[in-house]
Chains A and B, each alone.
Chain A
Amino acid sequence: MTLAVASGKGGTGKTTIATNLAMVAAEKYGQVTLLDCDVEEPNSHIFIKGTKIKEEIVNIKIPEVDESICTECGACSNFCQYNAIMSLKGKPVVFKEMCHSCGGCTLVCQPKAIHEVDHRIGLINFYSLGKINLIDGLLDVGSPLSPPLIGAVKKLEGKDTLNIIDAPPGTSCPVIEAIKDADYIILVTEPTPFGLNDLVLAVEVSRKLNKKFAVAINRVGSGDDRVHRYCKDENIPIILEIPDDRRIAELYSNGKTILDNLPEYRKSFEEVLTKIGVVIQNGQ
């Protein structure tokens, strides 16, 4: 079972919710795998202070041209949809950062002058804290393509454990990659105009992907009731509400979790898991 925590915009409290849920779930159900797929800025490890077990380098395959075989026919550069291999004075030159690793140039090269080599795009870090396995992807600075790294992190989902995905913000390709295989999505937002605007987009994405989802509203009381009204009109369940509490903001700023420090909020996180468990079992 995989639960993804996502939001249309950043800074709404996605990581706070994902990490606290992972802690509650570990107490209740045993092993939990927390996958930090916000690979541009993975921050779960700041809150789940586990021991680092190992790291793995993530590579994609990019083309390399053997000049002694190349006939300078230009088929590879004509084919590439991303201008990642270009003929400069006849000679094909590879622009690593642009390559999507589709394999097309290798296939179209008749004389078989192209073979593929590894190109590093990032790292995966493995941490362990009690019953929580935290796996985070860390995109190399300057590497533009996060989806392949997100895909690599997702492959590490536990088979028999509960998986919680901390998704990247937004509504474009990286988010889709992170949430497309989840069983249930929690969309985190704030009760403000920006919050609502971005929530509506995130709801459209979840619907388009045919996912079960619910909304979590953070900093309740800081804005108005527009998000509540929207959820009611659209018949979307609100699965969690966290009040606007300066103590939470301060804990967050120091890298501390709600669960360890403000026990009064524990119950609402426990309820999230109970509610989702019921929905999944009933196949609603």
Chain B
Amino acid sequence: MDNRPREIVVISGKGGTGKTSISASLAYLSQDCIVADCDVDAADLYLLLKPISIERQDFYSGHIAEINQEKCAGCGICKDLCRFDAIKANNNAKFSVEPSSCEGCKVCVEFCPEKAIDFPERLCGEWMKSETRVGFMVHAKLGIAAENSGKLVALIRSEAKKLAQEKDKKLIIIDGPPGIGCPVIASITGATDVLVVTEPTLSGIHDLERVLSLANHFRIKPYICINKFDLNLDMSEKIESVAKELGAKVIGKIRYDKLVTKAQIEAKTIVESNIPSAQDIIDMWERLKVN
């Protein structure tokens, strides 16, 4: 029997559609889940859930080149070979690596005739296990200008799964990243359920189409939530027909509610603050729960 926990990943093609507020609300409603923040670029979930961390670990990913100035003979071979334009000439006739451009490919390290280039592991941030009022949480802080958020996303998901097994939880709720690139791919591959939060705007539809074709690419059938659906009813209708065409199901519609910001300022989830849109999220949760 398959007893791996159900994993609901909340994503949105477009940023700023309310993904984090909705994920937090679902976690609150479930009452018994592990919650994880995989939007590591804009990790905002902690602002609502106020986690108290019980464990922290450094996150290393890949390597970075560093030129030892004493050994460098200034031949410039490394600069010629680096395809990421990460090596610059210094004014002392030697060369150095620009860390934010280095992709850690190792080419310069391998071909420096003086063996002058070190290749240490790269510290990219840290990740935490925490306790919150809605349950355990796994989250991270990606270093500024760090790479590989896809790897960090994969790590957070696997730690959340381990924690679910340990604590005997049947559900993981994940606040996923926006877009369709590497972090999103890392967050939805192998997930049991994907919920796409969109908004009734032309940009929203455009991005939704892209995210749905990404889901198709990975053979995932996502659910759709239209946030602020009453901001533009024509667009909301269009979303429903786009969803139908692409084999996705609209599972919730949330009204435009200015008080969501107030809830955010009070560090509460939408469903904890008694505001109009809370009911729409509760209705959606009832449907999601049994699906």
Contact = CB atoms under 8 A, between A and B. Distances in A.
Interface in A103-141: 103-104, 107-108, 139, 141
A102 B203 contact: no
A249 B17 CA distance: 13
B194 to A, nearest CB: 15
A222 interface: yes
A173 B13 CA distance: 18
Contacts of A252: 201, 203
B41 A169 contact: yes
A139 B181 contact: yes
A146 B41 CA distance: 15
Contacts of B103: 100, 102
Q: Which of B148, B200, B207 has the most CB of A within 10 A?
A: B207
Given A141-B213, A223-B261, A46 B15 contact: no
B73 interface: no
A254 B47 contact: no
Interface residues of A, number: 55
B132 to A, nearest CB: 16
Interface stretch (B105-113, B157-165, B166-174): B105-113
B20 interface: yes
Contacts of A8: 41-42
A209 B178 CA distance: 24
B276 interface: no
Nearest to B82: A102
A252 B63 CA distance: 42
B240 to A, nearest CB: 15
Interface string B257-274: 010010011010000000
B81 A171 contact: no
Given A102-B107, A141-B217, A253 B201 contact: yes
B100 A198 contact: no
A43 interface: yes
Contact of A146 (B14, B62, B181): B181
B92 to A, nearest CB: 20
Given A141-B213, A169-B42, A253-B231, A223 B203 contact: no
A180 B81 contact: no
A198 B42 CA distance: 6
Contacts of B17: 11
A144 B152 CA distance: 15
Contacts of B203: 15, 41, 43, 46, 252, 255
B14 A250 contact: no
Contacts of A176: 100-101, 145
Given A171-B144, A171-B145, A249 B20 contact: no
Contacts of B111: 107
B208 to A, nearest CB: 10
Interface string A190-226: 0011100110010011001100000000000011100
A144 B148 CA distance: 11
Given A43-B203, A176-B100, A253-B200, A193 B264 contact: yes
Contact of B44 (A173, A197, A223): A197
Given A11-B16, A172-B41, A222-B261, A253 B202 contact: yes
B4 interface: no
A40 B42 contact: no
Contacts of B107: 102-104, 107
B202 A172 contact: no
A204 B146 CA distance: 12
A40 B180 contact: yes
Interface string B174-199: 00001111100100000000000001
A11 B15 contact: yes
A255 B232 CA distance: 12
A173 B151 CA distance: 13
A15 B145 CA distance: 22
B49 to A, nearest CB: 12
A19 to B, nearest CB: 11
A31 interface: no
A265 interface: no
A10 B15 CA distance: 4
B105 A10 contact: no
13 contacts: A12-B15, A40-B178, A43-B202, A43-B206, A81-B63, A81-B105, A81-B106, A102-B84, A139-B181, A146-B182, A223-B261, A249-B231, A255-B202
Given A9-B42, A41-B13, 7 more contacts: A9-B41, A43-B202, A145-B182, A171-B145, A192-B265, A194-B44, A253-B200
